[in-house]
Amino acid sequence: MAREALDFLPSEYKYGFRDPEKYVFKARKGLDREVVEQISRMKGEPDWMREFRLKSLEIFLSKPLPTWGADLSQIDFNDIYYYVKPTEKHARSWDEVPEEIKRTFDRLGIPEAERKFLAGVSAQYESEVVYHNIRKDLEEKGVIFMDMDSALREHPDLVRQYFGTVVPPTDNKFAALNSAVWSGGSFIYVPPGVHVEIPLQAYFRINAQNMGQFERTLIIVDEGAFVHYVEGCTAPIYSTDSLHAAVVEIIVKRGARCRYTTIQNWSHNVYNLVTKRAVAYADATMEWVDGNIGSKVTMKYPAVYLMEPGARADIISVAFAGKGQHQDAGAKVLHLAPNTSSQITSKSICKDGGNTTYRGLVQVAKGATGCKVKVNCDALIFDDNSKTDTIPYMEIMEEDVAIEHEATVSKVSEEQLFYLMSRGISEQQATQMIVQGFIEPFTKELPMEYAVELNRLIELEMEGSVG
């Protein structure tokens, strides 16, 4: 294939527009006790949460940057706005959302999506959730879906019981940072036996320059219940970088199932450093469907701790790295009980100097007999400047297990291209078809609207690739 044929720059980031910055409150840049206390005071939080934030700040300051993974040395923690409040109140009806913000989300397609098929929607703009809504019937069944700040006020006992139990602030530097300055995010509680058949959805948008977004999501799926949560993220393009450091904690109780789908499409100036972890109890299933298309640097390894027999983890991810991007993503599964199983499928694509890394850990603890593990990592590399690494760690402390791991790296095959082109398909279309076929195991897990959207995104990324 001619080199020029692959010259498709991700030049067109369609969510790169920005809105004028109009905020009711913007904390000063930088981070210290005062800023943290200010955030807590503004939110009128209980003492325990303020203490939790301050303790987390100390942990954040004492931990060094990770020495592995992507290059984070360019992040200037003093040049970031840790808290930006865009509006005084948050709306339950779309009409109440301030005009500029509404326009932004209109352009992102939120109400449209909601009208079509969603059970509930939440939209976060900078640090605060500006809008959320949930279908009446679900609310009547006792399903709680609200932003994290409201949940702390309205369901303090439930929040206090679970908050920080899955991802403690000591887990890593960015979990500590989030714990200190978190704002927004979703809180979901699904009562026993309730099946939320259509997805709940959240949109995250960074608009301000040098903004840090630190949302905090907590999902509790009670016994035998089911929920599918979908999130999407975008940001405008600024010449300086933004930071997104979220923490997601999920508790999947006995016999329950949770699916969490992410389409991460931050603009190419966002450091996306996210800790996502679920604990799954007896016969529960946790599914992470994780697509990483945007951002400058992503370090994200959705995790499942399999706590009791019969628990299951399914992690399927796609990473797409173009010019200047490093997607350091993967999965982490800890088998802590007998007869637990996990399946990890990872698809990476890199081009135009992009760098993808699959980094994963599978651990089988002593006593976790009868576990089954299957890991599959495939990478597609388009050109000489790009780079793809596969680094799976397997720590097996039990003999009665079945572990399988497979990985492949390939270029787009000339034969496939030739075959398609001999059928009258252009080289660009043929390449797109090959890429779409490559990530099909991922797209088929998405709700239809998202699958269409993802394919469109991929097409956009590949645009202009061939003449």
Partner 1 sequence: MAQLTSLTSRAALEAEARRRGEPDWLREFRLRAWDLALGLDLPSRTDEKWRRTDLTGLDLGRVSPEVPAGAPQEVPEAFAPMVGEGKTLVLRNGVAVRVPEGLPAGVIVTDLETAARQYPDLVQPHLMTQAVRPEESIFTALHAAFFRGGAFVYLPRGAQVEDPIQILTWADGPGAGLLGHTLVVAEEGASARVVEYWASAAVPEGTPHLGVVEILTGPGARIDYSGVQNWGPGVWSFTTRRTKVGRDARVNWLLAEFGGELVRSEQYTALDQEGGEGNLKVLFFGSGNQHIDIVAEDLHYPTGRRTVGDIVGRGVLQDQARVVFRGKGHIMRGAKGSTCFLRENALMLNRGCRADSIPSLFIDDDQVERAGHAATSGKVDEDELFYLMSRGLTRKQATRLIVEGFFKPILDTVELPALRRELESLVDRKLGL
**According to CB under 8 A, which one of 7, 389, 449, 463 is a site residue for partner 1?**
389
Beta carbon nearer to partner 1, 158 or 391: 391
Contact 124, 150 (CB under 8 A): no
Taking CB under 8 A as the rule, does residue 68 contact partner 1? yes
Instruction: Please tell me whether residue 32 binds partner 1 under the rule CB under 8 A.
Output: no
Q: How far apart are CA 209 and CA 241, in angstroms?
A: 8
Query: Of 303-311, 383-391, 428-436, 449-457, which part binds partner 1 (CB under 8 A)?
Result: 383-391
Binding segment for partner 1 among 106-114, 140-148, 217-225, 395-403 (CB under 8 A)? 395-403
Q: Please choose, out of 277-285, 293-301, 318-326, 403-411, the segment that lies near partner 1 by the rule CB under 8 A.
A: 403-411
Does position 381 interact with partner 1 (CB under 8 A)? The reply is yes
The binder of partner 1 chosen from 390, 428, 443, 465 (CB under 8 A) = 390
- Contact, 347 vs 318, CB < 8 A? yes
Pairing state of beta strands 216-221 and 200-205?
unpaired
Residue 210 CB contacts under 8 Å (≥ 6 apart), including other chains: 29, 79, 80, 81, 238, 240, 241, 242
Per-residue contact flags (x/-) with partner 1 for residues 257 to 296, judged by CB under 8 A:
----------------------------------------
Query: In terms of CB distance, is 172 or 207 closer to partner 1?
Result: 172
Stretch that binds partner 1, among 39-47, 53-61, 300-308, 398-406 (CB under 8 A): 398-406
Place of tokens 């004028």: 20
Least distance from C-beta 411 to partner 1, angstroms?
Answer: 5
Residues 355-374 interacting with partner 1 (rule: CB under 8 A): 366
And the tokens for 106?
A: 């209109």
Pick the binder of partner 1 from 47, 137, 399, 415 (CB under 8 A). 399
Position 112 contacts partner 1 (CB under 8 A): no
In whole angstroms, what is the distance from residue 345 CA to residue 364 CA? 18
Cβ atoms 349, 319 nearer than 8 A: yes
Cβ proximity to partner 1: between 155 and 374 the closer is 374
Scanning 174-182, 281-289, 375-383, 441-449 for contacts with partner 1 by CB under 8 A, the matching segment is 375-383
Identified binder of partner 1 from the candidate list 4, 157, 384, 415, rule CB under 8 A: 384
44 binds partner 1 (CB under 8 A): no
- Is 395 a residue that touches partner 1 (CB under 8 A)? yes
- Conformation bin of residue 33: beta by default, left when phi > 0, alpha when psi is -120 to 50: alpha
What whole-number distance in Å separates Cα of residue 320 and Cα of residue 349? 5
460 is a contact residue toward partner 1 (CB under 8 A): no
Q: Does 411 bind partner 1 (CB under 8 A)?
A: yes
Size of the site for partner 1 (CB under 8 A): 34
Return the residue of 133, 388, 432, 465 that touches partner 1, per CB under 8 A: 388
In the region spanning residues 6 to 25, those forming contacts with partner 1, defined by CB under 8 A, are none
Give 250 or 435: the residue with its C-beta nearer to partner 1.
Answer: 435
Question: Is residue 421 at the binding interface for partner 1, with CB under 8 A as the rule?
Answer: no
Residue closer to partner 1 (CB basis): 99 or 414: 414
Under the criterion CB under 8 A, does residue 62 sit at the interface with partner 1?
A: no
Please give the C-alpha separations between residue 133 and each of 93, 138, 151, 186, 401, in angstroms, as whole numbers: 7, 11, 14, 12, 45
Q: Does 4 bind partner 1 (CB under 8 A)?
A: no
Give me the residues that bind partner 1 (CB under 8 A), please.
68, 366, 379, 381-411
